[in-house]
Structure 1
């Protein structure tokens, strides 16, 4: 019955948003407006699509935050290209709130990432350094006054498999170094993302929302609401810890044609928000 109420809430929200946007375009606020957290999309979701298609999809879904990937805004972009990029987002009422994930295997690549983020005009980097480079990340965070969110990878690679691993790696470093809590990868490494959000929320600077079919490496990505993650409990925990960042959908199923999955996932997540108030 709980899932049914969430689905009904999601459908009503989507229908209402569609009708209202047709009647009074640009005037409606997304359903999560009254929450401390915001809803966004991770740029990697659109790895096979250009920026125009990305922004069109976000606009149709009434999502206003995008984590910027370098395939949409290359590291070598000029100041004019960066300004044009932001102007294009602003025209769609979308904000690029962070850059990444960016993989960094050398000090030079860390320098490039911090310079890139500064030129783009954001103060959050979603990054993947090596463990050995963490002291240098600490130095750059102090220099730039940025937040640095290490992306989790679950059991797929050895680097930073879950929230506990990131916490242990950064707890003695500058408090501006934390994590991008990918709830799917955390789950696939046998962890509980609800419990991990509660434990480590002071170092959670970004969140990738998704759902998965299992709590091992064999688990794979599905639309939010179709997997094993307790999304209602996670939303309640977001409120409990007063998370103020972005929950960005990173949709990794059927990436050649992800659009129905994106709509379903965002609709379900918003249904959960409404049903758990």
Structure 2
């Protein structure tokens, strides 16, 4: 990488499924101080990078929205990304959502899918998903927006792309309930159902893993402390490897049956043990806390 490229700053490519929230993500990035370019054909990425290098730091953070509105030009994105990553550190954010959610969103705004042609909205979604398969596989960050409203998505983008001091990697530790489904954006999943469930204790049933009584109960169980110590130790070389490979974000999901007791306790304990990992900023989220 040349000195001009190092001084030019960060470049983030924002892409993904139509209806998954690209505009919301772009607006959130703009609010964070990123210079956002919308609907840029992949062939224009190299000239844009040339411009940022000539600007010598005037544009320290550039986000580029690239999507199927570029029609046939969009097919060049994978090749363009490979070529540009040899020259600059570029991240790719991919926004996704379940097909049925995307259909409802298009129906709500009464607009056709850009690729549906004479077919249905679902036809357009399936065509787009096929075209984006390779792009999704090369993404640095994938956000599934199926359960998000626009405010929740903006918050997620803010959490991921706000400067985190000297951190080279942002780790999200996410508690969840298996009965509500696996988190689609999880890189690693840990199952806490090997521990006794506080739900069956009438006193603790209405409480959560954020209450001291539940925390003490969970950590007193055989294997709880041993697991969390061993898992934290196993994750440290993984996080170091992510940094060497320039993977800036990861999600470690910690699950139990309902996402209310055991997973919440263990997610918080894991975060405490990883808080001092070099170059890592740790954030804790509870996906299903508060759900009935």
Name the TM-score, length of structure 1 as normaliser.
Answer: 0.29
